[in-house]
A = this chain, B = another copy of it.
Amino acid sequence: MSQRQSKSEAAGNRESERRRTILRAAIDVFARKGYHGCRIADVAREAGVAYGLVYHYFKNKDELLETVVETGWSGFVSRMRAVAEDEGNSLEAKVRGIADVAFEAYRVDPRAVKVLILEVARSPAGTQVVSRQQAFLDTIRMAADMFARAQGTGELRADLDPMLCASLLFGAIELGLTAFVSGLMEDRSPEALDRAKLQIAESFLRGVLPGAATSAEAAWKQEKVSSGTRPKAGKRS
Protein backbone atom coordinates (compact mmCIF):
# COMPACT_ATOMS: atom_id res chain seq x y z
CA MET A 1 0.00 0.00 0.00
CA SER A 2 1.19 3.45 -0.78
CA GLN A 3 1.25 5.96 1.98
CA ARG A 4 -1.23 8.15 0.25
CA GLN A 5 -4.66 6.81 -0.10
CA SER A 6 -6.51 7.10 -3.35
CA LYS A 7 -9.14 9.74 -3.50
CA SER A 8 -11.99 7.34 -3.16
CA GLU A 9 -10.33 5.65 -0.26
CA ALA A 10 -9.89 8.94 1.47
CA ALA A 11 -13.49 9.78 0.79
CA GLY A 12 -14.49 6.36 1.95
CA ASN A 13 -12.61 6.85 5.15
CA ARG A 14 -13.96 10.28 5.61
CA GLU A 15 -17.41 8.95 5.09
CA SER A 16 -17.05 6.10 7.45
CA GLU A 17 -15.50 8.46 9.92
CA ARG A 18 -18.58 10.67 9.88
CA ARG A 19 -20.77 7.65 9.95
CA ARG A 20 -18.98 6.32 12.95
CA THR A 21 -19.22 9.67 14.67
CA ILE A 22 -22.96 9.59 14.27
CA LEU A 23 -23.23 5.99 15.37
CA ARG A 24 -21.16 6.78 18.42
CA ALA A 25 -23.38 9.74 19.20
CA ALA A 26 -26.46 7.60 18.77
CA ILE A 27 -25.15 5.08 21.24
CA ASP A 28 -24.47 7.78 23.77
CA VAL A 29 -27.84 9.39 23.37
CA PHE A 30 -29.75 6.11 23.32
CA ALA A 31 -27.90 5.09 26.47
CA ARG A 32 -28.81 8.35 28.12
CA LYS A 33 -32.40 8.81 27.08
CA GLY A 34 -33.50 5.64 25.40
CA TYR A 35 -34.57 5.19 21.83
CA HIS A 36 -37.99 6.70 22.27
CA GLY A 37 -36.82 9.42 24.55
CA CYS A 38 -34.46 11.02 22.09
CA ARG A 39 -34.88 12.87 18.86
CA ILE A 40 -32.78 12.78 15.76
CA ALA A 41 -31.84 16.32 16.61
CA ASP A 42 -30.27 15.09 19.83
CA VAL A 43 -28.14 12.61 17.96
CA ALA A 44 -27.07 15.25 15.46
CA ARG A 45 -26.20 17.72 18.17
CA GLU A 46 -24.24 15.12 20.09
CA ALA A 47 -22.35 14.21 16.93
CA GLY A 48 -21.82 17.85 16.09
CA VAL A 49 -23.24 17.44 12.62
CA ALA A 50 -26.13 18.92 10.77
CA TYR A 51 -29.60 17.65 11.27
CA GLY A 52 -30.04 16.22 7.84
CA LEU A 53 -26.72 14.44 7.72
CA VAL A 54 -28.02 11.68 9.92
CA TYR A 55 -30.40 10.86 7.08
CA HIS A 56 -27.57 10.85 4.67
CA TYR A 57 -26.02 7.92 6.42
CA PHE A 58 -29.05 6.18 7.82
CA LYS A 59 -32.37 5.67 6.17
CA ASN A 60 -34.34 6.48 9.26
CA LYS A 61 -34.29 6.47 12.99
CA ASP A 62 -35.09 2.82 13.20
CA GLU A 63 -32.25 1.86 10.95
CA LEU A 64 -29.99 3.89 13.16
CA LEU A 65 -30.94 1.82 16.17
CA GLU A 66 -30.79 -1.30 14.08
CA THR A 67 -27.24 -0.44 13.11
CA VAL A 68 -26.24 0.40 16.64
CA VAL A 69 -27.55 -2.94 17.74
CA GLU A 70 -26.10 -4.90 14.92
CA THR A 71 -22.71 -3.35 15.31
CA GLY A 72 -22.59 -3.85 19.02
CA TRP A 73 -24.47 -7.09 19.12
CA SER A 74 -22.97 -9.00 16.24
CA GLY A 75 -19.46 -8.84 17.60
CA PHE A 76 -20.77 -9.74 20.98
CA VAL A 77 -22.76 -12.68 19.70
CA SER A 78 -20.05 -14.05 17.49
CA ARG A 79 -17.56 -13.96 20.35
CA MET A 80 -20.16 -15.56 22.54
CA ARG A 81 -20.84 -18.22 19.98
CA ALA A 82 -17.15 -18.91 19.51
CA VAL A 83 -16.89 -19.59 23.19
CA ALA A 84 -20.10 -21.59 23.50
CA GLU A 85 -19.47 -23.79 20.53
CA ASP A 86 -15.81 -24.48 21.08
CA GLU A 87 -16.12 -28.16 21.81
CA GLY A 88 -12.61 -28.23 23.10
CA ASN A 89 -13.77 -26.47 26.22
CA SER A 90 -15.46 -27.77 29.30
CA LEU A 91 -18.83 -26.33 30.26
CA GLU A 92 -17.16 -24.51 33.08
CA ALA A 93 -14.70 -22.89 30.76
CA LYS A 94 -17.50 -21.92 28.44
CA VAL A 95 -19.51 -20.30 31.19
CA ARG A 96 -16.49 -18.41 32.41
CA GLY A 97 -15.78 -17.46 28.84
CA ILE A 98 -19.27 -16.08 28.34
CA ALA A 99 -18.95 -14.01 31.48
CA ASP A 100 -15.61 -12.80 30.20
CA VAL A 101 -17.10 -11.72 26.91
CA ALA A 102 -19.95 -9.87 28.57
CA PHE A 103 -17.87 -8.06 31.14
CA GLU A 104 -15.18 -7.25 28.63
CA ALA A 105 -17.79 -5.70 26.37
CA TYR A 106 -18.96 -3.64 29.29
CA ARG A 107 -15.44 -2.60 30.17
CA VAL A 108 -14.76 -1.52 26.60
CA ASP A 109 -18.02 0.31 26.04
CA PRO A 110 -20.46 0.48 28.91
CA ARG A 111 -22.82 2.79 27.04
CA ALA A 112 -23.22 0.37 24.18
CA VAL A 113 -23.94 -2.43 26.62
CA LYS A 114 -26.53 -0.27 28.26
CA VAL A 115 -28.26 0.31 24.97
CA LEU A 116 -28.21 -3.37 24.20
CA ILE A 117 -29.70 -4.17 27.56
CA LEU A 118 -32.32 -1.47 27.38
CA GLU A 119 -33.38 -1.58 23.79
CA VAL A 120 -32.62 -5.08 22.69
CA ALA A 121 -33.02 -7.43 25.56
CA ARG A 122 -36.25 -5.84 26.62
CA SER A 123 -38.83 -4.16 24.53
CA PRO A 124 -42.31 -5.15 23.62
CA ALA A 125 -42.66 -7.78 20.96
CA GLY A 126 -44.76 -6.04 18.36
CA THR A 127 -42.85 -2.82 18.37
CA GLN A 128 -39.74 -3.68 16.53
CA VAL A 129 -38.41 -5.34 13.52
CA VAL A 130 -38.06 -8.99 14.20
CA SER A 131 -34.31 -9.10 14.12
CA ARG A 132 -33.75 -7.08 17.23
CA GLN A 133 -35.75 -9.17 19.63
CA GLN A 134 -34.78 -12.30 17.79
CA ALA A 135 -31.11 -11.54 18.21
CA PHE A 136 -31.42 -11.66 21.94
CA LEU A 137 -33.59 -14.74 22.05
CA ASP A 138 -31.33 -16.54 19.61
CA THR A 139 -28.42 -15.93 21.89
CA ILE A 140 -30.25 -17.45 24.80
CA ARG A 141 -31.25 -20.39 22.66
CA MET A 142 -27.65 -20.85 21.66
CA ALA A 143 -26.70 -21.02 25.30
CA ALA A 144 -29.58 -23.37 25.95
CA ASP A 145 -28.22 -25.68 23.26
CA MET A 146 -24.85 -25.50 24.90
CA PHE A 147 -26.36 -26.54 28.20
CA ALA A 148 -28.35 -29.30 26.57
CA ARG A 149 -25.21 -30.73 25.05
CA ALA A 150 -23.51 -30.47 28.40
CA GLN A 151 -26.26 -32.52 29.92
CA GLY A 152 -25.54 -35.16 27.29
CA THR A 153 -21.98 -35.39 28.50
CA GLY A 154 -22.94 -35.28 32.14
CA GLU A 155 -21.38 -31.89 32.67
CA LEU A 156 -24.64 -30.37 33.76
CA ARG A 157 -27.09 -31.64 36.31
CA ALA A 158 -29.65 -33.64 34.43
CA ASP A 159 -32.56 -32.30 36.40
CA LEU A 160 -32.20 -28.73 35.17
CA ASP A 161 -34.00 -27.31 32.21
CA PRO A 162 -31.30 -26.15 29.77
CA MET A 163 -33.37 -23.19 28.66
CA LEU A 164 -33.78 -22.13 32.22
CA CYS A 165 -30.06 -22.51 32.81
CA ALA A 166 -29.43 -20.20 29.92
CA SER A 167 -31.89 -17.69 31.33
CA LEU A 168 -30.27 -17.90 34.71
CA LEU A 169 -26.83 -17.34 33.35
CA PHE A 170 -27.82 -14.35 31.28
CA GLY A 171 -30.05 -13.05 34.02
CA ALA A 172 -27.16 -13.17 36.43
CA ILE A 173 -24.81 -11.50 33.99
CA GLU A 174 -27.33 -8.92 32.91
CA LEU A 175 -28.43 -7.84 36.32
CA GLY A 176 -24.85 -7.97 37.45
CA LEU A 177 -24.01 -5.49 34.73
CA THR A 178 -27.13 -3.53 35.50
CA ALA A 179 -25.89 -3.14 39.03
CA PHE A 180 -22.92 -1.33 37.57
CA VAL A 181 -24.84 0.55 34.94
CA SER A 182 -27.40 1.81 37.41
CA GLY A 183 -24.96 2.85 40.06
CA LEU A 184 -25.98 0.24 42.58
CA MET A 185 -22.37 -0.83 42.76
CA GLU A 186 -20.38 2.06 43.98
CA ASP A 187 -16.98 0.72 43.16
CA ARG A 188 -16.74 0.55 39.38
CA SER A 189 -13.04 -0.01 39.13
CA PRO A 190 -11.73 -2.69 36.76
CA GLU A 191 -10.89 -4.78 39.80
CA ALA A 192 -14.42 -4.58 41.09
CA LEU A 193 -15.71 -5.57 37.69
CA ASP A 194 -13.41 -8.53 37.64
CA ARG A 195 -14.41 -9.58 41.09
CA ALA A 196 -18.08 -9.40 40.13
CA LYS A 197 -17.48 -11.43 37.02
CA LEU A 198 -15.75 -14.16 38.98
CA GLN A 199 -18.40 -14.28 41.66
CA ILE A 200 -21.14 -14.50 39.09
CA ALA A 201 -19.54 -17.28 37.11
CA GLU A 202 -18.53 -19.16 40.13
CA SER A 203 -21.86 -18.92 41.93
CA PHE A 204 -23.69 -19.92 38.81
CA LEU A 205 -21.44 -22.89 38.26
CA ARG A 206 -21.67 -24.02 41.85
CA GLY A 207 -25.40 -23.92 41.46
CA VAL A 208 -25.70 -25.90 38.28
CA LEU A 209 -22.76 -28.18 38.04
CA PRO A 210 -23.28 -31.64 39.33
CA GLY A 211 -21.67 -32.76 42.56
CA ALA A 212 -20.76 -30.80 45.60
CA ALA A 213 -18.02 -28.23 45.36
CA THR A 214 -16.75 -28.04 41.84
CA SER A 215 -13.15 -28.38 41.02
CA ALA A 216 -13.43 -24.97 39.59
CA GLU A 217 -14.44 -23.61 42.87
CA ALA A 218 -11.70 -25.49 44.58
CA ALA A 219 -9.27 -24.17 42.06
CA TRP A 220 -10.60 -20.70 42.46
CA LYS A 221 -10.21 -20.90 46.17
CA GLN A 222 -6.70 -22.07 45.73
CA GLU A 223 -6.02 -19.32 43.27
CA LYS A 224 -6.61 -16.90 46.03
CA VAL A 225 -3.77 -18.47 47.87
CA SER A 226 -1.27 -19.62 45.29
CA SER A 227 -1.27 -19.44 41.51
CA GLY A 228 -3.91 -22.01 40.59
CA THR A 229 -3.23 -23.41 37.15
CA ARG A 230 -6.31 -23.75 35.12
CA PRO A 231 -6.78 -25.13 31.61
CA LYS A 232 -7.49 -22.38 29.08
CA ALA A 233 -10.30 -20.81 31.01
CA GLY A 234 -10.83 -17.45 29.41
CA LYS A 235 -8.58 -14.49 29.98
CA ARG A 236 -7.43 -15.00 33.45
CA SER A 237 -3.68 -14.78 33.61
A residues near B (Cβ < 8 Å) are: 31-34, 36-37, 83, 86, 88-90, 92-93, 96-97, 100-101, 104, 117-118, 121-127, 133, 137, 140-141, 153-155, 159-161, 163-165, 167-168, 170-176, 178-179, 182, 184-185, 195-196, 198-200, 202-217, 219-220, 224, 228-237
Given contacts A172-B171, A175-B168, whether A233 and B202 have CB atoms under 8 Å apart is: no
Complex copy number for this chain? 4
Contact B209 A216 (CB under 8 A): yes
In the complex, what residues of B have CB within 8 A of residue A90's CB? 230-231, 233, 235-237
**Cβ-neighbour of A184 out of B137, B159, B224 (below 8 A):** B137
Assess the A182–B137 pair: CB atoms within 8 A.
yes
Which of B34, B122, B196, B216 sits near A205, CB closer than 8 Å? B216
Write the nearest CB–CB distance from A229 to chain B, whole angstroms: 8
